[in-house]
Amino acid sequence: MSACGGGGEQAAPAGPPEVGVVTVREEAVVISTELPGRTSAYETSDVRPQVSGLILQRLFTEGDQVSAGQALYRIDPAPYEAQVASARAALGRARAAIASTAALSRRYNELVKINAISRQDAENAVVGAQQAQADVAAQQAALRTAQIDLGRTTVRAPISGRIGRSTFTTGALVSASQADALTTIQKIDPIFVDIQQSSADVLRLRQQLLSGEISREGGAARVRLKLEDGSAYPQEGVLKFTDVSVDPTTGSQVVRAQFPNNGGLLLPGMYVRAELVEGTRSNGILIPQAAVTRDERGSPTVLVVGAQGKVEGRKITAPRTVGTNWLVTGGLKAGEKVIVEGAQNARPGAAVKAVPAQQAKPGGNAPAGQQPKQGQ
C-alpha cells in the first residue's frame, strides 16, 4: 500500500563523482633548457699601427663591411722611403766591396805560394773577402726591413668584418708601441652566443647521453634564440663547445653556440634567451602540471584511477617541466589514468567515474539519470 499524500518522487541515489583523467602514454619528448646568454663576435681584431708617424688619410667609412687586406689608414711614408733609399745605397756599397776584397784575396793567395808575403797577410785577405760577403747579406736584410716598414705605412685590415668607429683622426701622431687601437673590426657572421649553464646540469646531460637515456640527431645539440624584445630568432644554431673549467663562484660553465647572422640582426653584446635542445627521450611520459601535488616532504605525487575505479595515491619522479607538463621518469607506466580534474572529489580508496579530462562535470555527484549527455 502506498503512503497517503506522497505527491513527490524519491531522488535517484547519487553515483560516484566524476574526475577528468589523462591516459599515460610514452612518446618521444624533446628535452630543452632555456638559459640567458650574450652574443659575441666570431672574430675580433684591434687595428694598431706597426710604425710611427702622422696619419695622412683615413680610407674607410665607419660601420662598413671591410675585407682582409683592405687599406684603412695611410701614415706619412717619407721617413721610411728615405730609410729604404739609405739601405739600398748601403747594399750597393757592400756589393762593390766584394769585388775589391775578392781580387785582393786571389792575388795574396798567389803571392804566398812564392813567399812574397806572409801567410798572415794572405789569411787576412781571405777573411776580408768573407766579411764583405757577410756585409752584403746584412745590408740585404736591412733593406728588406726598411721595405717592410715602408709597406706598413699603409695600415690594412687583418680580418674581414664590420669596422667600428675610428679613435684617431687625420693628423694624429701614432706610434708602433701604443696601447690604443686605431679601430676595431668584428666578424659577426657567423656569431657566437655564450650561455651560462650549471655544471651539475652539464654533468647530468653527459651522463644521460652516455647511457642512451636521451639521444641527439647528428651528434650536435641545436639551439634556438629569443631576442631582447621577446621575438624568436628565425635561424637555429648549433652547440660548438662547453668550457673545460667551472667558475668556482657560480658553479657554472660557459656553453658556446654558433648562429648564422647573414642579415646582421645579432650584434655583439646583445642579451638573449637561448633554448638549448639537449636531445630526445624516446620513451618520455608527460602529464599536465595540474595533476601533480606535493606531499609533506615535498615529493611529487599524483592520483591514479586504478582497478575497479578506485583512487590510488602515487609518488612519482618528475625532475623537470616541458612546457606546461611535467616529465615523469618514474612512478607511472603507459596506460594508467592520472586524475587532472575533480581531484577535490577524489580520495585514495574511493570509487570514482573516470572520464577524459575537460569532460568531467563540476561536483561530479549529480543524481543518476539527470546528468547531461557529453557534448551538451
**CA atoms in the 13 A half-sphere facing the CB of 1:** 3
Grid cell in block for residue 286: 608527460
pLDDT at 209 over 80: no
322-354 tens-digit pLDDT = 888 899 988 898 888 998 888 887 888 888 888
Mean model confidence pLDDT for the chain: 83
101-158 tens-digit pLDDT = 766 666 666 666 677 667 777 667 677 677 777 888 888 999 999 999 999 999 999 9
pLDDT recorded at residue 217: 61
Residue 259: which of 63, 45, 67, 37 has the closest Cα?
37
* Ordered alpha helix ranges (H), the chain: 78-113, 119-151, 199-211
Grid cell in block for residue 84: 729604404
Instruction: Give CA 330 to chain center in angstroms.
Output: 33
What mean pLDDT is predicted for residues 20-28?
89
pLDDT recorded at residue 307: 77
What mean pLDDT is predicted for residues 248-254?
84
How confident is residue 368, by pLDDT bands cut at 50, 70 and 90?
A: very low
Domains contained in the chain, CATH given: 18-28+284-356 (2.40.420.20), 30-42+187-281 (2.40.30.170), 51-75+153-180 (2.40.50.100), 78-151 (1.10.287.470)
pLDDT recorded at residue 247: 82
Give the span between the Cα atoms of 165 and 178, in whole angstroms: 18
40-94 tens-digit pLDDT = 999 999 999 999 999 999 999 999 999 999 999 999 999 999 999 999 999 988 8
